[in-house]
Each structure stands twice: as structure tokens, then as C-alpha cells.
């Protein structure tokens, strides 16, 4: 049976970077067996359509009326609907109202290779079930994204629309705000969730190794290359590549990345064959890339390639109401890691956390919570247990010198035993040997602080349950 494919050109403006319609028709036909697809071109939304459409590609501008996707799906009875927008000169924020109504998005300029890979992935047979269409995602996987503030909830409201399309995403935010967690949420709530998520720290890639790391190399490409090796793009095939600190790339690396972003094609080092990478690019930056462009540190054309859909992770000081649930979430995770139960914060401790400015954001908060849990032997973590920069790390002067010294020694001993047992899988003999103590003396410390190992080698306090 011949499947009906529609190309709807609803934007009368011309764009020199768009793929030619004849080339688009040819590329679409290559996605299906010979004679299995009939491609038609229309310049207006049909009021009615005979039969049903398998796939419709609709070109429109960012200021198109809301509900365009729903009208198209209803009038054409399209099984799959792809939006097609010229993003240059458009306001990316204006596209969010349209994203929710389409199964995927294309942003010109794009080449035949990208078009073919998108359509094949969108229309592959296993997607014809009842609940796998990305536009029908029912439950978001957001376990690692914790927050209740209005700014954070606005960000999460955009995530389903961003996840269900395949356009490049640029995430901005200060260091430690959780940009990689957001990138992972985009990946794991998309149709690519069954494929790899590959993070790349651009700041840690030497300029001389960027091409080899990203694209791989052929055998004999350089001295010592005795065999061909795949790069990170090949390792992420079908999945998502997360480019962290993308603004730190050198000028040479920017050119190579730009060339790849144009059509998702690359050549492994030393090879003459071009490879098409079916990957989605999500980039992140902790600097203002527009300032980088103005300063001449970042190519303007690369910025436009990356700045298709933008999300901003707010700093922790901008969402202080999220600090208590974040702190409780982290405490619960460290309870599981260190085998403790029943810990919680006092009201004064939570107020202290909310009052701090958190220049290191969520990452700094995590370190403070972990340190407090390890060094405190109480179930209720008090304000004094939270060591923040600029504050004395020693004990409060709330007793005699001898009493304060005894508490410090006890906290040290308890924390040391817990960590020694954790590092040696709960083996008392090896932990005692590493500590330079007799096994029986080490056992006495374990009994002194009522510490026991569960079957998984985790250390917990006796009677900690409940």
C-alpha cells in the first residue's frame, strides 16, 4: 500500500539555506521501500483530505497561530506530524507554544542525511504501538530534578515539549546548578531514552584530541593507530550527546563541531568515508555565549546552530524555597549510601541553609549535606552540624573544654570507622589493618558507636530503624 506523505509549505518567505523541495521529495522516498510512498506538496492547510496521511511535514513561522498542529492532524488525519521552521531571526521562545502539537521538529538549514535519519527513526515499525509516540508521554522521569519554586516549575513545564522534539538544546546556568541532570531528563523522556546518553566535557578535551575523541579514527590514521576506533558520536548512535562547557572549545574545534551540526555527517580521522550520526545534541554553558561571540571567542554561526531551543537553570539563591526539599532528598540518598536511617533536619538547620547564598549552587549544598551526615552522630541534624564557608568549623562553646573535646573526638572516631568499613566492603580485618589498629580494638570502636554491617557491606547504627 502506498503511504501518503505531505509537504506543507505554509511560510511564504524564502530562505537561501533551506533544502530544495525536489531534494526533499527524493530524500523522503528513500526512507521507504520503492513505490511505498507518494509525496505531495501543498501551500495551504487542506479543509478536508481523502484518506489518511502517514506523514506530514509542515513549514511555518514562529508567529503562526496557536493550534496549527492540531488543525493539521485533524484535517489530514496524519499519523506523524513534523514541524519545519527557519530558526534564523526567529524568537526561540515563540516556538514553545507550537512544540507540544508536533512529533518532531526540523530547523533549517538541514541536509538530506538529517531528514532521512529523523524520518526513519520517527516512523520505524516499533513506534506504531499505542503508547510510544513521544507526544503522548504520560509520566516524566524527574527523580533527580527536585524543586517546588515557580521558576523551577516553569522550567519543568517546558521539558515535555523539548523532549519530544529532536532540535538542538542549549542549557545555560551557573556552575553547579544541575545542567547535566536537566540534559539527562530531556534524554530519558524522549524517544531516544533506550539509547546511550554520552556526556562530553569540552573543557577537558585537548584541542589536538577533539577530532579523534568525537569522530574516531581509521586504522593507520596516525602513528600507533593499529586499528580503527569509534568516536563518541558513534558510541552515542541513536542517543544524545551532551556537550558541557561548550563555550570553552578552541577555534579549530568550533569549526569541526559546526561542520557536524550542519548535516550530522562527519569523517573519522584518516578516513575518506562520511558517516551519518543519528544523535541529538544538547549543549550547556555557564557563561553568556552572546558575550563570547561579541568578544570574538565564539563563532557567531556556531552560536546560532546551538541556540535553537534554550533552557535556563536558575541559581539556587533564586529558588530558596527549593532548598529544604533538595536537602531532604540528598539526605535520604546519603542515608542509603551509608546505611543510616531516620535522619532529618531541625527547623533551625533548614533556616540556616535557606539563609546562605550558595555560590556553588546545588553541588555545594550536596557537599555540605554529605559532610554533616558523616560527622554527626545525632538523628536530628542541627544548625551547628552544617559547616558553611566563613563560619568556624569547630564545636560551639556550649560546655566545658573537656566535654567539647570529648564530643569532637567521638565524632571523629565514629566518622572514621564508618568510612573505613565502607571503603573495605564491611570487612573488619581489612579496615582495622588500614587504620593501623588491632582488630579487637577496632571491634571495640564498632561496639562503642553501635555500628553494624548489613549483608551488602553497608554500615548502620544499631536501632537506627524506625
Instruction: Give domain limits for the chain.
Output: 1-136, 146-314, 317-394, 412-466
Contact in structure between 243 and 283 (CB atoms under 8 Å): yes
CA atoms of 64 and 95, how far apart (whole Å): 9
CA atoms of 166 and 240, how far apart (whole Å): 10
Which class would CATH give 146-314? alpha beta
CA atoms of 421 and 427, how far apart (whole Å): 6
What pLDDT sits at residue 393? 47
What pLDDT sits at residue 370? 92
Tell me how many degrees the CA angle 79-81-85 measures, rounded to the nearest 5: 170
What pLDDT sits at residue 133? 28
DSSP code, position 271: -
Q: Which residues of the chain have pLDDT under 50?
A: 125-139, 392-394, 396, 454-457, 461-466
CA atoms of 274 and 121, how far apart (whole Å): 20
pTM, rounded to two decimals: 0.62
SS3 236: coil
pLDDT digits (tens, 9 = 90+) for 239-276: 999 999 999 999 999 999 999 998 889 988 888 888 99
Q: How far apart are the first and last CA of the chain?
A: 64
What pLDDT sits at residue 288? 94
Residue owning grid cell 527549593: 322
What pLDDT sits at residue 100? 66
- CATH for 317-394 is 1.10.8.60
Tell me how many degrees the CA angle 182-84-153 measures, rounded to the nearest 5: 25
What pLDDT sits at residue 358? 94
Topology match between the domains 1-136 and 317-394? no
Contact in structure between 98 and 66 (CB atoms under 8 Å): yes
**Could you tell me how many helices (H) and strands (E) the chain has, helices first?**
17, 18
What pLDDT sits at residue 285? 96
CA atoms of 151 and 91, how far apart (whole Å): 20
What pLDDT sits at residue 200? 93
Instruction: Tell me which CATH homologous superfamily contains domain 1-136.
Output: Response regulator (3.40.50.2300)
Amino acid at each position: 500500500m502506498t503511504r501518503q506523505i505531505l509537504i506543507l509549505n505554509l511560510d511564504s518567505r524564502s530562505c537561501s539555506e533551506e533544502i530544495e523541495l525536489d531534494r526533499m521529495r527524493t530524500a523522503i522516498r528513500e526512507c521507504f521501500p520503492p513505490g511505498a510512498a507518494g509525496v505531495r506538496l501543498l501551500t495551504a492547510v487542506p479543509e478536508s483530505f481523502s484518506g489518511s496521511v502517514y506523514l506530514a511535514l509542515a513549514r511555518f513561522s514562529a508567529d503562526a497561530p496557536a493550534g496549527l498542529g492540531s488543525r493539521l492532524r485533524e484535517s489530514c488525519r496524519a499519523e506523524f506530524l513534523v514541524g519545519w521552521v527557519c530558526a534564523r531571526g526567529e524568537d526561540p521562545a515563540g516556538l514553545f507554544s507550537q512544540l507540544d502539537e508536533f512529533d518532531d521538529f526540523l530547523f533549517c538549514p538541514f541536509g538530506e542525511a538529517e531528514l532521512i535519519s529523523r524520518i526513519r527513526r520517527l516512523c520505524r515499525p516499533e513506534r506504531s504501538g499505542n503508547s510510544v509516540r513521544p507526544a503522548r508521554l504520560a509520566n516524566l522521569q524527574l527523580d533527580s530534578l527536585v524543586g517546588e519554586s515557580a521558576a523551577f516549575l516553569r522550567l519543568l513545564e517546558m521539558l515535555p515539549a523539548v523532549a519530544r522534539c529532536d532540535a538542538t538544546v542549549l542549557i545555560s546556568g551557573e556552575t553547579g546548578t544541575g545542567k547535566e541532570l536537566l540534559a539527562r531528563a530531556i534524554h530519558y523522556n524522549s524517544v531516544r531514552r533506550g539509547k546511550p546518553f554520552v556526556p562530553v566535557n569540552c573543557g577537558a578535551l585537548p584541542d589536538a584530541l577533539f577530532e579523534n575523541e568525537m569522530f574516531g579514527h581509521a586504522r593507520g590514521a596516525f602513528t600507533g593507530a593499529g586499528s580503527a576506533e569509534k568516536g563518541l558520536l558513534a558510541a552515542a548512535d541513536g542517543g544524545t550527546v551532551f556537550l558541557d562547557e561548550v563555550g570553552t572549545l578552541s577555534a579549530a574545534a568550533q569549526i569541526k563541531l559546526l561542520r557536524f551540526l550542519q548535516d550530522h555527517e562527519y569523517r573519522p580521522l584518516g578516513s575518506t568515508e562520511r558517516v551519518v550520526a543519528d544523535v541529538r545534541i544538547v549543549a550547556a554553558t555557564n557563561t553568556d555565549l552572546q558575550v563570547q561571540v561579541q568578544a570574538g571567542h565564539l563563532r557567531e554561526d556556531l552560536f546560532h546552530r546551538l541556540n535553537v531551543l534554550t533552557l535556563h537553570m536558575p541559581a539556587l539563591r533564586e529558588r530558596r524555597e527549593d532548598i529544604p526539599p533538595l536537602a531532604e532528598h540528598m539526605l535520604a540518598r546519603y542515608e542509603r549510601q551509608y546505611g543510616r536511617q531516620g535522619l532529618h533536619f531541625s527547623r533551625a538547620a533548614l533556616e540556616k541553609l535557606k539563609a546562605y547564598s550558595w555560590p556553588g549552587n546545588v553541588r555545594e549544598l550536596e557537599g555540605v549535606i554529605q559532610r554533616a551526615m558523616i560527622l554527626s552522630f545525632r538523628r536530628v541534624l542541627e544548625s551547628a552540624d552544617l559547616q558553611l564557608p566563613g563560619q568556624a568549623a569547630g564545636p560551639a562553646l556550649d560546655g566545658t573544654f573537656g566535654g567539647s573535646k570529648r564530643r569532637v573526638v567521638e565524632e571523629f572516631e565514629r566518622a572514621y570507622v564508618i568510612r573505613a568499613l565502607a571503603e573495605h566492603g564491611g570487612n573488619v580485618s581489612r579496615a582495622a589493618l588500614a587504620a593501623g589498629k588491632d582488630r579487637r580494638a577496632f571491634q571495640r570502636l564498632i561496639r562503642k558507636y553501635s555500628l553494624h554491617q548489613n549483608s551488602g557491606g553497608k554500615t548502620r547504627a544499631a536501632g537506627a530503624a524506625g
